[in-house]
Amino acid sequence: MKVLLVAGARPNFMKIAPIYRSSLKFPGVDCKIVHTGQHYDHDMSQTFFDELEIPTPAYHLEAGSGSHGVQTAKIMVAFEEVCAIEKSDIVMVVGDVNSTLACSVVAKKAGIKVAHVEAGLRSFDLAMPEEINRMVTDAISDYFFVTEGSGVENLLREGKPRDKVYFVGHVMIDNLLYQKSRLDNGRFDVTALSVYALREEKGRYAFLTLHRPSNVDDADTFQDIVSALNEIAERFPIIFPIHPRTRKMAEQFGIEFSGRITLLPPLGFIESLFLWKDAEVVLTDSGGLQEETTALGVPCVTIRGNTERPITVEVGTNVLAGTTREGILKAYRDSLRKKSRAAIPPKWDGRASEGIWEVLVREFE
């Protein structure tokens, strides 16, 4: 069974790492990695390949940045050639970035089966590019691998065949648990991290990520969010690895962060985990961190009005804040209270990748 496993942007790399590693346990599976090049800076891309033990991709499409149309089109043109050369049985895409959409469409039109990992999630907010990517990818996928119950419900409501919807758990959590155990066993030299002196104050700082266009591309929204963050920083210092998009927009709008918010360049997975796992609270607009904080029981405030990952709010540590100053401050207080009631969602046990290959191998027999 020949499989092309596609990744393009930072949140994809954490997902393909355990899928690829697990593929090696299945002798009949020939899995090749395709990197679309949507993310290309060393600390947005190569760092993750090195740390997460992902081999060099068989193909690098070097698509780079651009408008949605330009970026998606470049990926499609280049990936069509790869499909023609490889003639694989399956193209496996993960998540909801532009690379996910581009490669699933190309594969399907080339007559190749599409497997979507992290299928069925819905924010019901079509202003999010990721929501469009999720809906289009699911509209044409053949195999749906789902992380939480809401995903199964959404797919069945949209008329997907029940026998192609597989609730396997979450590959992102496979990666998290694997890397956390390497970190706990001292398999990483984290001495470099001692530069972040705040880390010494275990549990006495907050950890922030912020990059969503709806939060940082509009000056008023961005300013309102930062005024809440500056206030939270009065109580606890905040560590903020800043995404290139966010840095660019903050400079353009002249937005000023409190001196108690430490700006860092984008971090690798391990550095980032090392910092957020002991934070008092994680403040974020990322999809993945909502889930990872739930898996480790760390309080999380999500700076968005909705989430496509409702299980993190229903049983996990996540509290939705919206994007106003008052909303964020209230959610921050609520999240600290919620911690003691949080639980781990079903099947987030580190075995999702294996489950995916078991299904596909069975389908091909």
Q: How far is the CB of 311 from ligand UD1 (least distance, A)?
A: 19
When the beta carbons of 219 and 343 are compared against ligand UD1, the nearer one is 219
* Residues in a beta bridge with 283: 208, 301
When the beta carbons of 65 and 258 are compared against ligand UD1, the nearer one is 65
Question: Which residue pairs, CB below 8 angstroms and at least 24 apart, start in 196-204?
Answer: 196/239, 196/262, 196/264, 196/275, 198/237, 198/239, 198/262, 199/239, 199/274, 199/275, 199/278, 201/237, 202/278, 203/278, 203/279, 203/280, 204/236, 204/237, 204/280
- Give the chain's length: 365
**116 is annotated as an active-site residue:** no
Burial class (CB in 10 A: 0-12, 13-18, 19+), 169: buried
When the beta carbons of 29 and 301 are compared against ligand UD1, the nearer one is 301
What one-letter code names the amino acid at 17?
A
Q: How far is the CB of 347 from ligand UD1 (least distance, A)?
A: 23
When the beta carbons of 13 and 236 are compared against ligand UD1, the nearer one is 13
Give the span between the Cα atoms of 144 and 151, in whole angstroms.
Answer: 9
| Active-site hit among 35, 170, 211, 243 | 211
Give the span between the Cα atoms of 298 and 312, in whole angstroms.
Answer: 11
Q: How far is the CB of 287 from ligand UD1 (least distance, A)?
A: 6
Q: Applying CB under 6 A, which residues contact ligand UD1?
A: 9-11, 38-41, 44, 65, 97-98, 129-130, 211, 243-245
Give the span between the Cα atoms of 96 and 82, in whole angstroms.
Answer: 21
Q: How far is the CB of 97 from ligand UD1 (least distance, A)?
A: 3
* Active-site residue list: 211
